[in-house]
Structure 1
Amino acid sequence: MDLEAEYNNRLRVPDSAALIAGWARDAAAWREACPGAELGLAYGAGEREKLDLFSAGVDAPVAVFIHGGYWKALDRSFASHCARGLVLRGVSAAVPSYDLCPVVGIGDIVRQIRAACRFLWARTGRRILAVGHSAGGHLSAMLLATDWRALDPALPADLVHAALPVSGVFELEPLLPTTVAQGLNLDAASARALSPRFMPSPARPLYCLVGGAESDEFIRQTRDMAAAWGGSWEALPGADHFTVIAPFADPDSTIVARARAMAR
């Protein structure tokens, strides 16, 4: 199997650069349009340890949407529009940035995203649905697997009570022989340790989404992750690695309806 072709999505999708530029445009439009958006809230001390919070009201359930970029590209400004459908259906949504590899390791990013969730808990008092795309899908699964009481006995054990990863990478070892692994500071042991696919099931709701036009490996990883944790999965017909997140901007999409049900 050609793992480079399976995992290098920017090469696999010829118009990926235009699609990413479209994310930035749509995200900026949503930040401008959303009433009551709180931008640049600091959940940590670092410059990138900030999130944007799009509120659906004080009593609304809460979701976090974590951007992708293989842990080494992009930031929250490319994903704001993925909060639109949720907010317009009564779910508050936070979109965080985080430090990138190779400046930090993936384990450091996991700790930062956990800190973002603790910030949201302190601010809202609401448990959280974790949603994330690509590397963000990996991070959303890591949040679901987190032992929150071990971090702080005052936290609810199910602080992140459900997850909806989109085109996630749940096994990191297949990345090692590819150019994707450059800058990730991974070896076989750390790749395995950071792979949620091989962690014990947290026995909480998990729904995995992948594009039907994605590579066999992305579809396999999604299927195997859902099976390992007793969750469910869906391949979105015709969607590639970049268009698969489009339904999150649409409050009438079936994906937003499912996310809303999971958040509630």
Structure 2
Amino acid sequence: MADGAAGGKSIDLEAEYNNRARVPDHQTVMLRWKADAEAARATRPVELPYGPGAREVMDLFEASEGAPVAVFLHGGYWQALDRSWFSWIAPALVARGISVAIPSYDLAPSVRLGRILMQVRDAVETVRRRSGARPVVFGHSAGGHMAAAMLSEGRASAALAISGVFDLEPLIPTSLNIALGLDAMEARALSVTNWPVPDGSAPGGTTLDCWVGGEESAEFIRQSRDMAALWGGRGVETRVEVVQGADHFTVLDPLRDARSAMVQRVADLATAP
């Protein structure tokens, strides 16, 4: 058992962070992702390379020429999945006039987490060069961490993190770290809780949303609340939204609906002056 302490209370970190073990029905949800993604890919998105590697490619679902772009960063604890699982999130945003880019990236343990962040930077910068503007970056789980990282670095116009993992140190004693191989020093260095907040006097955006499922573990809810409070206290415009009844997988369901609050928020951020 991987234990930690918060507020003097012992926490089973394995149970808190191992979402596939926590949600017995996750395979059903993920199979639905895959089927719906294949249907969405029938629209033939543009395949846009952002680097020389086989996985350094993104799918671009274009709403119209010159439309604002939102970049979605998938989760999987930096060690699973790729863009082909998440094409289904694009249609609702495209219907709202927002183009959607979904990159793949290399996975641990083949590469270190720091290398994955470099790839995500390259993907976001490729979108920026193509569109002429900083994109909104949104992401799920590990992708939420990376979305906040892109905002910190001034590469995003805004970020929306869904069930993000911002402080990586709690992952160290869990089975999730077998592939990541994080030690305390690397985990602290890569935790966006320790990164500079986006500066309103510099290029880039200063808005961070943290959305999280109401049925997620206490640690995931804490991570979102703590991140919003931390950066909010340092001048960033932050908000926390709890998606009632949603677990770590179904929290993405609102992205199917062009009328949902989550899609509305991404669209509003993408079209903000």
Same fold (TM over 0.5): yes
What secondary structure, in the 3-state scheme, does the structure 1 residue paired with 2:21 have?
Answer: helix
| 1:157-190 Cα shifts (integer Å, max 9, x gaps) | x431100010010000000011011110210000
Tell me which residue corresponds to 1:149. Answer: none
- Quote the Cα distance in structure 2 between the aligned partners of 1:257 and 1:51: 23
Q: CA deviation at 1:65?
A: 0.5
Cα distance in 1 between the residues matched to 2:268 and 2:32: 28
Task: Choose which of 63, 66, 69 in structure 1 pairs with 2:73.
Answer: 66
Task: Output the CA distance in 2 between the equivalents of 1:176 and 1:61.
Answer: 38
Matched, 1:29 2:39: yes
Counterpart CA distance in 1 for 2:157 and 2:122 is 16
Q: How many residues align?
A: 250
Moved over 2 A (4+): none
Q: What is the rounded CA distance, in whole Å, between the counterparts of 1:180 and 1:141 in structure 2?
A: 21
- Within the candidate set 163, 188, 194, 1:192 is matched to 188
Query: What is the alpha-carbon distance in structure 1 between the residues aligned to residue 98 and residue 187 of structure 2?
Result: 34
Per-residue deviation, 1:200 = 2.1
Pairing 1:161-240 to 2, within 5 Å after superposition? 161-203=157-199, 204-230=206-232, 231-240=238-247
Letter in 2 for 1:4: E
RMSD: 1.0
Contact 1:49–1:97 (CA under 8 A) maintained in structure 2: yes
Counterpart mapping for 1:1-264 below 5 A: 1-32=11-42, 34=43, 37-38=45-46, 40-146=47-153, 158-203=154-199, 204-230=206-232, 231-264=238-271
Identity %: 53
Contact 1:6–1:218 (Cα < 8 Å) also in 2: yes
Q: Match of 2:182, as an amino acid?
A: L
Shift of 1:201: 1.4
TM-score, with length taken from structure 2: 0.89
| 1:93 alignment partner, SS class | strand
* Higher mean C-alpha deviation, range 212-221 or range 19-28: 19-28
Deviation string 1:202-260 (CA, Å, 9 cap, x unpaired) is 14001110000000000000001111111111110000000001111211111111111
Match of 1:210, SS? Answer: strand
Distance across 2 between alignment mates of 1:168 and 1:83: 20
Write the letter of the residue equivalent to 2:261.
T
Three-state SS of the structure 1 residue aligned to 2:105 is coil
What TM-score does the superposition give when structure 1 sets the normalisation length?
A: 0.92
